[in-house]
Chain A
Amino acid sequence: MSETGLIKHISHPHPVTGVTNSKLGVWCFLASEIMLFGGLFSAYILLRTGVTDWPRGHEVLNVPLATLNTMVLITSSVTMVMSWASLELKNLSKFKFYMTITVLLGIAFLVVKSFEYGHKFEHHHFPSTSNFYATYFTLTGLHGLHVIGGIFVNLYFLLFGVKMWEKDPEQFTGRIEAAGLYWHFVDLVWIFLFPALYLL
């Protein structure tokens, strides 16, 4: 069991906190992520309220594509939580199935986003074009980087990290829950980005 390793309480809850150290660590990381996006949302509000001619999102951005991407991310959140639930039910093949779908949906999100970016570049809309596009590219770009990071983490667990299931299923289930917390956070950020940039 990994409880004898360097980091304690990663398979079983710490007696003081009641949660595993890995979960505590992920939540601290997510708290810092809240601040990162909070600063950028704050910049968005300041820039937007500081001018009179800020474009309404739907006039300049592709709402149907972004709606599709919202559905893609929401679905990927469900498949992510289902992959964790499959491990709780001791069903490794279902875990692999749901995790594969999660990874594919993450890639689908990026493909749709790249079409959107490509369309903007074709029309010579760059971050330097206006405050609106600077905000749009910064917020969606940083979010996209988070999606890329999540895909790599999920792929690692799907292809290599899954070996841990044989020797410590509890720790592996905890790892998938932690990866899920991050993935749901990325979904949550998009839930606010979507109306802020596209619909208002």
Chain B
Amino acid sequence: MSGHSPEAVKKQVRTYIAVFAALAGLTVLTVGVSYLKLPLGAAIALALLIASVKGTLVAAFFMHLISEKKIIWLILVFAVLFFFLILLYPSWHAL
């Protein structure tokens, strides 16, 4: 990401501010939704959805994944694959 033109960086800064506003709004939303006392299944689905959107925003813009090289994506794809394996396999096995 190093060596961008000042104009490009200033444009990125505006994006960072917009992402910050979205993250703050989604935090208020997820807390607000938790007060609705939804059934656990629906509450988990909604909370996970909001957290995933927030996580995607952080990874895509703050961590520059949106414009990152293929090799970084390759590392990440493997990590995420094994993350879901380690997350879901024991639970599935325990059922």
Size of chain A's interface in residues, with CB distance under 8 A?
Answer: 51
Tally of contact residues, B, Cβ under 8 A? 51
Known: A82-B13, A173-B2. Contact between A199 and B69, CB under 8 A?
no
> Is the pair B47, A199 in contact by a Cβ cutoff of 8 Å?
yes
Identify which of residues 90-126 in chain A touch chain B, using a CB-to-CB cut-off of 8 Å: none
Cβ A31 vs Cβ B27 within 8 A:
no
Does the CB pair A85–B27 fall under 8 Å?
no
Shortest CB distance A175–B (Å) = 11
Contacts of B24 in A (CB 8 A): 71, 74
Contacts A88-B4, A174-B2, A200-B43; is A42 near B91 (CB within 8 Å)?
A: yes
Main secondary structure of the interface of B (DSSP, over half): helix
In the complex with contacts A19-B71, A19-B72, A192-B51, A184-B2 CB distance below 8 A: no
B87: A residues at CB distance < 8 A: 38, 41-42, 45
Cβ contact within 8 Å between A31 and B51: no
CA A85 to CA B68, docked complex, whole Å: 16
Say whether B72 contacts A195, CB under 8 Å.
no
B71 touching A89, Cβ below 8 Å: no
Interface residue SS majority, chain A: helix
A17 touches B71 (CB 8 A): yes
A195 touches B47 (CB 8 A): yes
Q: How far is the CB of B3 from chain A (nearest CB, A)?
A: 7
Q: Are A46 and B94 touching (Cβ within 8 A)?
A: yes
Contact present for A181 and B75 (CB under 8 Å): no
A40-97 residues with Cβ-Cβ distance < 8 A to B are: 41-42, 45-46, 49-50, 58, 63, 67, 70-71, 74-75, 77-78, 80-82, 85, 88-89
Residues of B within 8 A of A145 (CB): none
With A49-B91, A77-B62, A194-B51 known, 4 other A-B pairs at CB within 8 A are: A31-B75, A34-B82, A174-B2, A199-B31
The 4 closest A-B pairs by CB, nearest first: A31-B79, A195-B47, A199-B34, A38-B83
Contact surface of B with A, Cβ cutoff 8 Å: 1-4, 6, 9-10, 12-13, 16-17, 19-20, 23-24, 27, 30-31, 34, 40, 43-44, 47-48, 50-51, 54-55, 58-59, 62-64, 68-72, 75-76, 78-80, 82-83, 86-88, 90-91, 94
